[in-house]
Structure 1
Amino acid sequence: MMDNVSVITIFYLSGLNETINHRFLLFFLTLLCYCAILLVNIALIVTVVLDKSLHEPMYILLCTFCINGLYGTAGFYPKFLWDLLSPVHVVSYSGCLVQAQVMYSFACGDLSILAVMAYDRYVAICRPLEYHCVMSRQRVLKLACFSWLTPFCIIGTNISLTARLKLCSTFIPRLFCVNWIIVSLACFPAEVVVSSIVAYITILIYVFHGVFIVWSYMYLIKTCVHSAENRAKFMQTCVPHLVSLTTFLLTILFDVMNMRFASTKLPQTLQNFLAIEFLVIPPLMNPLIYGFKLTKIRNIILGRVTCRKRVNF
């Protein structure tokens, strides 16, 4: 058994086995989706970077949000597109761990950034006179870095513990590598205890993130009820955050429920869709939500498009 374990260098991804007959259609749709994700996220990032009037805390955090979306999708789409054109769906052991690191740190990073955004809106609406002092540009940049580096390090700890496990199988019934499933392939359950404890601590940390976000918005709603000006500010700047948060939590919830409790009787296509929702809907919808809802960004983008049309004519 130990000899067999030591020679495991690749994993076989079986998530595409039932959809192989439609792989060219899937390749086209996936490529179209990935190009759309790249376009909307890069467009918003470039808009924020180039326009000095957008060099404010809320827009800097939004830029960080979009960069994290590009980071997460880069860990999935190129490999998935390659698999759609390949007769054999395999990934190296080290590549599998890297992909799991990217997927998890992307998801946790999104929640961390949403927590910082919630704090930013709390200070802006509830403590407006202190806003520029509390949310200075230097502090915002530190918070943005912290909200990405911390999940990266926490998930890195989980992945390093997984890398020490002795595995007895090379088959992963998914479209991409997931840390929880890799851990479930361990030969000796006793070795999984430490990894499981760290995993549950990680979950607890991000549950607290969620609680903080919910508390922040409940307090904001309570504050805005009695002020027409605050209500307008809430509708303009907080609603996109709430939509992003709801979308993110629902897609992650569906994925976790599917991974932990889904019946094997569910069609593979449905399982695949539930697994990749958080890599399709939030990265594509978030820039569109913010681009259309935030007046400042919308006006700048529409102004540039209008100018280009006039120049062309």
Structure 2
Amino acid sequence: MSNSSSVSFLILGAYLEMGSVKYLWFLVVAAVYVLIVGSNVLLILVICVNRTLHEPMYLFLCSLFVNELYGSSGLFPFLLLQLLSDSHAVSLPLCLLQIYCLYTYVNVEFCSLAVMSYDRFVAVCLPLQYHTIMTGNRVLALTLGVWLYSLLKFLVTLSLSVRLTLCGDTVDTLFCRNYQLVKLSCSDTRVNNLYGLAVLFVSVLVPLAPIVYSYARILRVCSSGSRQTRQKAVSTCCPHLVSLLNFSFGCLFEILQSRFDMSHVPAALRVVLSLYFLVIQPVLNPLLYGVQMTRLRSSCRQLLTCRGF
């Protein structure tokens, strides 16, 4: 295919011939999607309905759960359709829309975790000033800033990808990735590559800086503080750290897989790890925070048993 106008569909080559087993995989994926939607919607409702949870930590969590729904909706319906499809083809506009959705999901997730680390730093290191620093206006500004920063940044990426002239129609992936489109292009991709590397650098550095600073200060306070201070730090930071490390691991492999030759890794393992950060994170976060945080767990129980808040 010689130009972008003639490439109206892309073929996803990572789907193996599964025969009738595809219906079993369809049910498994559908069950995971129902779990993600149900658990995240439940916690969003709990936080919105229970006015005692209208505090910075829970409002940031609410934004995180909304992002899990957003990212999952960009992946799971697409996977379900592809599992039942025999051609595994996707239209180019839908592919670009999925790229935008998944890339913004990843950026919002990482930036939200960075904002939450700052919130934990203030709660542990500056408890007497917490409500003075984390005002309602600041929480709103940080939340809107995370979403607007992510949505606008990847509009540029999308506009650069739209102008590409594609000379192929097959990508070895389960879902659409921007770098795969760039590799299919036979036009000049220097701007795409440079901007992609710049975005990757900024997307990692901007959230990483407040995360490292916040936890360095928290560790410093814990090392010189009382046992009660250390216990408070562990109870408030543990779920966030687990979520952060899990997401970072998945993103690291995704970056390595998209930028470097990973043909020496078994195909089945590449498939699993390529979906890791898009599947495990939306499942893990509501379970992690819902179980570990006593007030959230109690409010969920009250809502499920239909008792008043």
TM-score, normalised relative to structure 2: 0.93
- Higher mean C-alpha displacement, 107-116 vs 260-269: 260-269
2:239 matched residue in structure 1: 240
1:26 matched residue in structure 2: 25
1:225-273 deviation per Cα after TM superposition (whole angstroms, max 9, x unaligned): 3133322221221111100000100111122222333433544322211
One-letter code of the match for 2:110? L
One-letter code of the match for 1:218? A
Give the Cα–Cα distance (whole angstroms) in 1 for the partners of residues 20 and 254 of structure 2: 25
Instruction: Give runs of aligned pairs for residues 163-312 of structure 1, distance below 5 A.
Output: 163-188=162-187, 191-208=188-205, 209-225=207-223, 226-305=225-304
Distance of aligned partners of 1:20 and 1:274 in 2 relative to their CA distance in 1, 3 Å threshold: farther
- For structure 1, the residue ranges without an aligned partner over 5 or more in a row are 309-313
- For structure 2, the residue ranges without an aligned partner over 5 or more in a row are none
- Mapped contact 2:46–2:303 kept (Cα < 8 A): no
Give 3-state SS (helix, strand or coil) of 1:246's partner: helix
1:132 matched residue in structure 2: 131
2:81 matched residue in structure 1: 82
Report the CA distance between 1:152 and its aligned residue: 1.4
- Between the two proteins, the alignment pairs up a number of residues equal to 305
Give 3-state SS (helix, strand or coil) of 1:238's partner: helix
Distance of aligned partners of 1:20 and 1:193 in 2 relative to their CA distance in 1, 3 Å threshold: farther
1:123-171 deviation per Cα after TM superposition (whole angstroms, max 9, x unaligned): 1222222221221112211211111221111112111111111110111
- Mapped contact 1:19–1:269 kept (Cα < 8 A): no
Percent identical pairs in the alignment equals 37
Give 3-state SS (helix, strand or coil) of 1:75's partner: helix
Instruction: Give runs of aligned pairs for residues 28-107 of structure 1, distance below 5 A.
Output: 28-107=27-106
- Higher mean C-alpha displacement, 10-19 vs 258-267: 258-267
1:67-106 deviation per Cα after TM superposition (whole angstroms, max 9, x unaligned): 0010001001001101111211111111111100011110
Give the Cα–Cα distance (whole angstroms) in 1 for the partners of residues 141 and 258 of structure 2: 34
- Mapped contact 1:258–1:274 kept (Cα < 8 A): no
Give the Cα–Cα distance (whole angstroms) in 2 for the partners of residues 262 and 302 of structure 1: 48
